[in-house]
Amino acid sequence: MKLKTGILLVNLGTPDSPSVPDVRKYLRQFLMDGRVIDINPIGRFFLVNGIIAPFRAPKSAKTYRELWTDRGSPLLFYGEELADLLQKALGEDYVVSLGMRYQNPSIASALEKLNHQAIKKIIVLPLFPQYASATTGSVHQEVMRVVSKWQLMPQLVMIDSYPAHPEMIATFAELGRKYMKEHTFDHFIFTYHGLPQRQLKKADARCLTNGCCDIYSEENRLCYRAQCVETSRQLAKALGLEEKDYSISFQSRLGSDPWIQPYTDATIERLVREGKKNILVFTPSFVADCLETTIEVGEEYKELFEEKGGKHWQMVESLNTHPRWVNTLKDIVLNA
């Protein structure tokens, strides 16, 4: 019997339904992760169970109801379709399994699917182009927790990041060019999910000083902010943009601690003040459309932009199940 290579694709996860109890369950599991709310466990317990989950769940559930489709939550159905497409692209020497860091299908169940096949090694491929302790780090930790209980420990290859993969950059650029043919834009925004500044400092004390996070190099290769800058630089190059044509910003801040900057809402206000009225927006930390793209960028930031006097706000959809994105993942697997 020929042994196969297992591929564990992992994304963040989404609630099982947009009901308040399911959203609360999701938020609890997500935010009780010590890599996400990285404060002392007792403080985290009271913050999440006493404040965030009770008050945020009803508000988030309302937004999830807007996002939900006949096929469910986009993050999940795009993930399932992507796993099928990658399986077809890789062929029968590979077994692809999809897991979500929070809720379902769990990483444990996705790994169990691989454990039941004749597997020689497992490649863990988080669906986050840029490394963050709160996402990729947490996925790696959960995989290690699960497999540490197995009698036979598999050979594991952990992918940490791929912020400038040329095929991924080309896919984002191709998606954006479609809108550039239809409309003239006077500015471009690359907006990324934010992180508390302290999480970057914990990973590397030099972070956020002396321009550590502005230039990507071998030395700071896992600095989230520097990786976002590199993704943007490569994407701008692929689109033929000069530095003055685009802005990089960070969204989805939670709580009152400082997160990495500039913030997307402040950037929108600055750009409108500077007279930019037509903006094309990319969301390159998300590889599938989700609450943070469709609703936050596509609706809430659009509203803010128009309220401040902007005219045309266009969000570029995410990679979802684009054939070149499937090729990108295939290439990462074949080179792992």
Ligand X SMILES: C=CC1=C(C)c2cc3[nH]c(cc4nc(cc5[nH]c(cc1n2)c(C)c5CCC(=O)O)C(CCC(=O)O)=C4C)c(C)c3C=C
List contacts with Fe ion (CB under 5 A): 207, 212-213, 223
To 10 degrees, what angle do helices 74-90 and 323-334 make? 60
Residue 10 CB, shortest distance to Fe ion, in Å, is 15
Q: Does 12 bind ligand X (CB under 6 A)?
A: yes
- The footprint of ligand X on residues 19-48 (CB under 6 A) is 27, 36
Binds 133: which of ligand X, Fe ion, none (CB < 5-8 Å by kind)? none
Residue 243 CB, shortest distance to ligand X, in Å, is 24
Give the count of beta carbons closer than 10 Å to the beta carbon of residue 15: 29
Give the count of beta carbons closer than 10 Å to the beta carbon of residue 148: 8
- The footprint of ligand X on residues 182-201 (CB under 6 A) is 193, 195-196
Q: Cβ distance 316 to 175 under 8 Å? A: yes
Q: Which long-range contacts (CB under 8 A, 24 or more apart) does 148-152 make?
A: 150/115
Q: Is 193 annotated as a binding residue?
A: yes
Q: Does 291 bind ligand X (CB under 6 A)?
A: yes
Binds 195: which of Fe ion, ligand X, none (CB < 5-8 Å by kind)? ligand X
Residue 135 CB, shortest distance to ligand X, in Å, is 5
Q: Which two tokens stand for residue 178?
A: 């479609």
Give the count of beta carbons closer than 10 Å to the beta carbon of residue 2: 7
Residue 51 CB, shortest distance to ligand X, in Å, is 12
Binds 139: which of ligand X, Fe ion, none (CB < 5-8 Å by kind)? none
- The footprint of ligand X on residues 202-261 (CB under 6 A) is 252, 254
Given the complex with ligand X, which of 115 and 249 has the nearer CB atom? Answer: 249
Q: Does 60 bind ligand X (CB under 6 A)?
A: yes
Interface residue with ligand X, options 231, 247, 276, 292 (CB under 6 A): 292
**Quick one: 46 exposed, middle or buried, by C-beta within 10 A (0-12, 13-18, 19+)?**
exposed
Residue 128 CB, shortest distance to ligand X, in Å, is 5
Q: Does 139 bind ligand X (CB under 6 A)?
A: no
| Alpha carbon separation from 274 to 65, 136, 164, 241, 244 (Å, rounded) | 36, 37, 30, 18, 12
To 10 degrees, what angle do helices 166-182 and 323-334 make? 170
Distance in angstroms (rounded) separating the CA atoms of residues 287 and 106: 19
Q: Cβ distance 179 to 314 under 8 Å? A: yes
Q: Which residue has the tokens 């002392």?
A: 40
Residue 39 CB, shortest distance to ligand X, in Å, is 11
Q: Does 142 bind ligand X (CB under 6 A)?
A: no
Given the complex with ligand X, which of 20 and 268 has the nearer CB atom? Answer: 20
Quote the strand ranges of the chain, DSSP E.
4-11, 94-100, 119-126, 155-158, 187-193, 246-251, 278-282, 312-315
- The footprint of ligand X on residues 71-100 (CB under 6 A) is 73, 75
Q: Applying CB under 6 A, which residues contact ligand X?
A: 12, 14, 27, 36, 56, 60, 73, 75, 128, 132, 134-135, 193, 195-196, 252, 254, 285-286, 290-292
